[in-house]
Structure formats: structure tokens, C-alpha cells
């Protein structure tokens, strides 16, 4: 799923890394630079040499995970980046105003309307895909927009002051197909097509756009494929003290979902002893009971590598009404 958790993790890691120092003067860019979404990055680009120096082939293992410490960052940790800032809807950039979106689209969107954001102009594309999204129960509303199928086609322009070409890269590139990205020294890509190629597993990653020479203007766009989806009422999950709330999740690969408690003051039984729950099918609807102070997370996973995490917190206490007439 395309949640704020991956974005928040990315930002924290970036700020910890800080700014990298500029290298020696880069060679002049070639007349034509081929867009890159695979392992072969243009060696003539000093920005590519720096940013993608550690970008490798490590991927998520299809196994259950034990909680927040195992949250997958989508390969973000393999990138070497300058300081970036949030630009809305999970995207990050060195300069949000240097990038402009137009003509975004895709097939079969489910979920909430995207919140206003500040990336230049336009709205970033929805790059969260759910193979079996058409099977979601009618009462299920994903906590973030999701596409049942690909491709998603969008336009992106660079309006900053640094020189092109613009390099395009995707972490976990073997799970996606990109067409129509920036070519030669163009600063506009009117029809970028993003298609997930992974059909029987789950993954997440980042599209990375950056200018040719280091230091560079950089834009990061998250994507997710077949991650476990949370209902809008379960992200976060507010559990009343001494009461219960329903955790509702959907598996995009039609697998059973395992949920595990990470934290304290809540559980999957009224005595709070049960630390886990498993769905009977692709939808998990499980009561989560609260003690005096519910606080933590629920980690969700399936046997194909899909994952999700939702925060558990205490529901606000009801405000007392005015005293009755005496």
C-alpha cells in the first residue's frame, strides 16, 4: 500500500544522511541520454554516479515480519541523496517547485480523494496497484487511493534552473516497466507510462528523477504493488479504553492475512492476551480490544510478501454533555 509510513521513513533517513559534497566538475552531457529504469545507469552523469552508487538488486523476502523495525523502505536506503523535503502525497524533492505534474491518469481507482499538495503544479500520479482490487467488498474503502490495474500514464516537467538531461530510475526496477520518460535534453515528458510487472507477489519502491550533474535537483515518487490495503477506518486504528474497534484489511493477492501486535495495552481478545489474528480469506475483520492505554502498531503480512502496518492508539474520550436539569 502507498502509505505515509514509507514516506516518513524515507524522510527520516534522508535527514540523517544530510547533504553530500559536490564532486569534481562533470563532463559535458551527451547529445542524447537514454532514460534509465534498470541497472545500467549513464556513467557520464555525475549525479547518477553519486545517487545510484549503491543501488543494487536486494529485494524483500516473501516472509512474515515482526513489526515496525522491519518496515520495508522500498530500496530508499540504497540511494545517496541531498536533503529533501516532503512535497505532498508521499513525494519528496530537493525543490518541490522545480517539478510540474499534468495529465495524470490510470485505470480503476478506489479510495479517498488525494489531499492538496505542493509539487509545482498538478497532482502526482497514483502508483499503488492491487491485483485483486475489483474483489474488494463494497463496504471497504481503502485508506489511500489504489489502482486495480495498470498502466498509469502521467506527464512530468522540470521547471528548475539546472541543466538537463533528466535521468529516470526505479528502485526494484525488475518489478516495473517504464516508457515515455525524458529523452535527450528535453525537460518535459508528456506521457510517462508506469506498469507493474509483478503479478504474484508484493513490492514497493521509488521512481527517482534527477538532473544530470551533481549536485542535482531530485524528485522521488513512491510506488506500491499488491500491498495489503487498510480500510480508512483502520489507519490509524483508534481503540476505546476498555472497549474494542474493528481492524479491517484486504489482501490484493487473495491470500490469508496474519496480524501481529507490536506494543501494549491492546490485544485480539477481551483479556488482551491474544497477540495475533489470522483471516479466513482475503479480508481480515478482527476486533482489537483496548486496555487502559492502547499504544503501538499492528503488523500485517501474507505468505507472498505483502505487508502493511497500522498505528493503534487510544480513542479520544467522549466529551461530557451539560448537566441535566435538577
pLDDT in tens, 103-162: 545 555 665 433 333 334 578 888 999 999 999 999 999 999 999 888 899 999 999 999
Q: What are the pLDDT digits (tens) for 222-240?
A: 999 999 999 999 999 999 9
Q: Can you read off the three cell numbers belonging to residue 253?
A: 493477492
Q: What are the pLDDT digits (tens) for 200-221?
A: 999 999 999 999 999 999 999 9
Give residue 142's pLDDT.
95
Give residue 116's pLDDT.
32
- The CA distance from 165 to 129, in Å, is 29
What number is the average pLDDT over the span 272-277? 98
- The CA distance from 4 to 65, in Å, is 19
Q: Where are the domains of the chain?
A: 4-225, 229-314
Least confident of 34-48, 136-150, 187-201: 34-48
Percent of the chain with pLDDT over 90: 67
What number is the average pLDDT over the span 79-96? 94
Give residue 37's pLDDT.
55
What number is the average pLDDT over the span 6-35? 37
Give residue 234's pLDDT.
97
Residue positions counted in the chain: 326
Does residue 302 register a pLDDT over 60?
yes
Least confident of 16-30, 63-77, 284-298: 16-30
Give residue 180's pLDDT.
94
Give residue 324's pLDDT.
60
What number is the average pLDDT over the span 67-78? 74
Give residue 152's pLDDT.
92
Phi, psi of 194 (to 5 degrees): -110, 120
- The CA distance from 323 to 300, in Å, is 44
Please, are residues 67 and 5 in contact by the beta-carbon 8 Å criterion? no
Q: Architecture of domain 229-314 in CATH? A: Sandwich (2.60)
Give residue 102's pLDDT.
76
Supply the pTM of this predicted model.
0.81
E strand intervals along 17-172: 85-88, 91-93, 99-110, 128-129, 146-158, 166-170
The contacts of residue 45 (CB under 8 Å, 6+ apart) are: 26, 29, 33, 165, 167, 212, 213
What number is the average pLDDT over the span 44-69? 72
Amino acid at each position: 500500500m502507498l502509505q505515509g509510513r514509507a514516506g516518513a521513513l524515507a524522510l527520516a533517513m534522508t535527514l540523517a544522511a544530510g547533504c553530500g559534497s559536490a564532486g569534481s566538475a562533470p563532463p559535458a552531457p551527451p547529445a542524447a541520454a537514454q532514460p534509465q529504469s534498470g541497472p545500467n545507469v549513464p556513467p557520464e552523469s555525475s549525479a547518477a554516479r553519486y545517487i545510484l552508487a549503491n543501488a543494487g538488486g536486494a529485494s524483500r523476502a516473501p516472509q512474515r515480519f515482526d513489526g515496525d523495525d522491519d518496515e520495508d523502505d522500498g530500496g530508499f536506503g540504497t540511494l545517496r541523496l541531498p536533503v529533501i523535503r516532503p512535497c505532498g502525497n508521499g513525494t519528496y524533492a530537493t525543490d518541490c517547485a522545480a517539478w510540474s505534474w499534468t495529465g495524470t491518469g490510470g485505470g480503476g481507482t478506489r479510495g479517498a480523494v488525494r489531499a492538496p499538495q505542493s509539487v509545482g503544479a498538478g497532482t502526482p500520479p497514483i502508483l499503488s496497484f492491487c491485483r485483486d482490487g475489483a474483489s474488494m467488498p463494497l463496504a471497504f474503502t481503502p485508506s489511500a487511493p489504489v489502482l486495480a490495474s495498470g498502466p498509469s500514464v502521467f506527464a512530468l516537467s522540470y521547471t528548475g534552473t539546472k541543466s538537463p538531461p533528466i535521468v529516470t530510475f526505479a528502485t526494484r526496477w525488475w518489478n516495473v516497466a517504464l516508457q515515455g520518460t525524458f529523452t535527450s535534453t528535453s525537460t518535459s515528458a508528456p506521457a510517462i507510462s508506469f506498469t507493474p510487472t509483478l503479478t504474484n507477489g508484493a513490492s514497493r519502491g521509488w521512481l527517482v528523477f534527477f538532473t544530470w550533474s551533481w549536485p542535482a535537483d531530485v524528485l522521488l515518487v513512491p510506488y506500491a504493488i499488491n500491498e495489503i490495503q487498510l480500510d480508512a477506518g483502520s489507519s490509524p486504528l483508534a481503540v476505546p479504553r476498555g472497549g474494542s474497534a474493528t481492524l479491517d484489511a484486504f489482501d490484493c493477492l487473495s491470500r490469508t492475512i496474519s496480524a501481529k501486535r507490536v506494543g501494549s495495552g491492546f490485544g485480539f481478545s477481551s483479556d488482551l492476551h491474544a497477540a495475533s489474528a489470522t483471516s479466513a480469506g482475503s479480508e481480515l475483520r478482527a476486533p482489537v480490544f483496548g486496555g487502559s492505554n492502547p499504544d503501538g502498531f499492528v503488523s500485517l503480512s501474507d505468505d507472498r510478501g505483502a505487508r502493511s502496518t497500522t498505528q493503534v492508539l487510544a480513542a479520544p474520550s467522549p466529551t461530557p454533555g451539560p448537566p441535566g436539569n435538577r
